[in-house]
Structure 1
C-alpha cells in the first residue's frame, strides 16, 4: 500500500470510525520523526558553530557577533522545547493515543494536525483555554 501524502491527508473524507487509522498514524509518525531529526541536526550544528567561536578584535564586530550568537541560542532554546513536544507526540502515536483532544476526547482533526502535528487540543478547546487565560490574566 502506498504511503499517504500531505494532499491525501487534506483531502481525506473517510468515515469517522476510520479517523487515525494505521495509515494516518504512520504518516504523522514519519512527519514527526523527520522534525525530530531536523531539530537535533540544528542543535548539533549550533554546538559546533559556537565551539568554533573566534572573538573579533573590533568591539562593534564583537557586539554584532555576540548578538547573533544570542539570537541563535534563543532559537535553539525554542527548538529544544519543540523537540520535547515532538518526542512526547511520537510516544502518543506509539501508544495509539494520538489525534484526540486532551480536554474533550474528540478528534482534533487531520487538517489541524497537519498544520500543528504536536497539537493536543481541538481548535474549540484551544480557543476556550485562550479565552480563559485572557479572562483571568486581566
Structure 2
C-alpha cells in the first residue's frame, strides 16, 4: 500500500535499515548463545564462582530478551511498511517526524505521545 506521508526514497531507506538491523540481531543471536543454565560442577569451586556464573547467565538471558523484543518491533515496523502505515503514531495517527524515524526506525509513538505516555506512567508509579 502507498504511504501518503513519506517519499518512496525515505521508505526504501527505512526498509533497508530495518532489514539490516534485523539481520544484525539474528547474526548476533546465532553467534552468542545463552550460557548453559546450570554450570558444570567441576568449574564451580567457590560460592563466588557460582555467583559470577549465575550473574553472567542472567545478563545473557536479559540481553536475549531485549534482542527478541527489538526483533518483534522491527518485524512490526516492516509489516507497517508493507501496509502503508509506517511512521504513523499509534496514539494520534499523525505522522512521526522523519528524523525520529531515522534515529529509531521501529518507533511507534511521536515525541509528544511518548512524553504523555512517560508522564502517565510516572504518575501511576508515584
When normalised by structure 1's length, the TM-score is 0.74
Structure with bigger helix share is: 1
Aligned to 1:73: 61
Contact 2:34 2:61 in 1 (8 A): no
Q: Any stretches of 5+ residues in structure 2 without a counterpart?
A: none
Change in Cα spacing, 1:135 to 1:64, as seen in structure 2 (3 Å) is closer
55-64 or 93-102: bigger deviation: 55-64
Match of 1:36 in 2: 22
Report the CA distance between 1:123 and its aligned residue: 0.5
Q: Take 1:21 and 1:50, find their aligned partners in 2: how far apart are those partners?
A: 47
Q: What is the aligned-residue RMSD (CA, Å)?
A: 2.4
Structure 1 unaligned residues grouped into runs of 5+: 1-17
Q: Following TM superposition, by how much is the alpha carbon of 1:45 offset from its aligned partner in structure 2, in angstroms?
A: 1.9
Contact 2:97 2:110 in 1 (8 A): yes
Instruction: Report the equivalent of 1:88.
Output: 76
Residues 16-61 of structure 1: per-residue CA shift (max 9 Å, x gap)? xx7411111111111111111111112222337649x766242344
- TM-score normalised to structure 2 length: 0.81
Matches of 1:137 and 1:74 in 2, distance apart?
23
